[in-house]
Amino acid sequence: YMVQLATKVVLPSLAQSGKPFAILFWSRDPDLSQHVEKDGSINGKTSLAGLSDADRSLAALLAWLKANRLDRTTDVFVTADHGFSTIDKRIGGTELPADFLAKDLQAFPAVRVVANGGSDLIYLSDAKSAAAVVDALTKLEYVSGIFVDDALGDFPGALAMSTIDWRGTALTPRPAMVVSFASHVMPGCRAVLLCAAEVADTSLATGQGMHGTFSRADTRNFMAATGPDFKTRFADRTPVGNADLAPTLAKILGLMIAPKGGLVGRPLIEALKGGPALKSTRGRLVSAPAANGRTTVLEYQTVGATRYFDAAGFPGRVVGLSRP
């Protein structure tokens, strides 16, 4: 329906206006199919059907541009908003119960847990309990990575929220902690980042899909661009992210966008025609060890002043996190 609406109503109307135009087309697949369906194997029939649905939608939009001779003057940007993993709530052969993190922290009445799929948010009504809560989290088998509000102090086994830029100016309450869950590679899989499984705090079941952990399978997604302003057959080895989309389009259009806060991306000049090659650097942050030796490790890349997060968590429990 949305493709029909775009190609038979929206695009023709915009083209007939004789003015430059821009549209945003959002495809519910493959996200919906991967979340809801429970295929018997990784990348099963339903997930692949969801990918095909998205491909057909894009093909229809590109075909319309070509049929109306607008393909040579139109830039097309395609991106996903996250990677994807298969849910696996089994720990030591036992399925985790619903609300497992809240139940494991029920000894702390000051704790409020907000389920968020591959990671959970923790709010505290008593800041004095923070150290004990962090210590308890480091002992849970399914936890892999803890980030704590800087205002609460430093805690062994955890990194500060500021290390992942989780200290903005939003008026909504900021969580005291962000907890990422463990991930692993499905047996017999070679395409590691396409075959990850993760613990998830969700009503969805083992075998369905989720995202939100700090594994590289979830943070790495697909992005592509084509059109008169972009290089052809160019694979960008420089790290990029969705925050770079708006600055890049603004540069193409010659617009100046004033940033609102510090969480902004950069124009992807290396992908534009005539753009220079850029260099990136890699970084690694390691927390002080908890009493049991657990450390939260954060790996990232930097281009200029822009930082991109690759993976984070407890070594050995995160897909894509390198060993020391």
pLDDT tens digits along 206-217 = 888 899 999 999
Distance CA(279)–CA(269), nearest Å, equals 12
**Six-digit token pair at 66?**
């070509």
Residues 6+ apart with CB under 8 A from 288: 154, 156, 157, 295
pLDDT band for position 41 (50/70/90)? low
Q: CA of 298: how far to CAs of 33, 119, 279, in Å?
A: 31, 15, 20
pLDDT in tens, 289-299: 999 999 999 99
In this prediction, residue 190 carries a pLDDT of 80
In this prediction, residue 10 carries a pLDDT of 97
pLDDT in tens, 65-116: 999 999 999 999 999 989 989 899 999 889 999 999 999 999 999 999 999 9
What value does the mean pLDDT of the chain take? 93
H or E, element range at 144: strand 143-148
Side chain identity, residue 229:
D
Neighbours of 23 (CB within 10 A): 9
H or E, element range at 297: strand 297-303
pLDDT band for position 308 (50/70/90)? very high
pLDDT band for position 34 (50/70/90)? confident
Least confident of 37-46, 188-197, 266-275: 37-46
152: β partners: none
Work out the angle at residue 147's Cα, subtended by the Cα atoms of residues 146 and 151, and round it to the nearest 5 degrees: 140
Mean pLDDT of 180-184: 97
The pLDDT of residue 50 is above 90: no
Between residues 262 and 99, the one the model is more confident about: 99
Q: CA of 236: how far to CAs of 42, 190, 272, in Å?
A: 28, 23, 11
In this prediction, residue 314 carries a pLDDT of 98
In this prediction, residue 43 carries a pLDDT of 67
The pLDDT of residue 22 is above 70: yes
In this prediction, residue 207 carries a pLDDT of 85
pLDDT band for position 283 (50/70/90)? very high
pLDDT in tens, 217-261: 999 989 999 999 999 999 999 999 999 999 999 999 999 988 887
Q: Give the percent of the chain with pLDDT over 70.
A: 98
Distance CA(169)–CA(262), nearest Å, equals 9
Mean pLDDT of 23-28: 92
Q: How far is CA 225 from the centre of its chain?
A: 19
Mean pLDDT of 264-279: 96
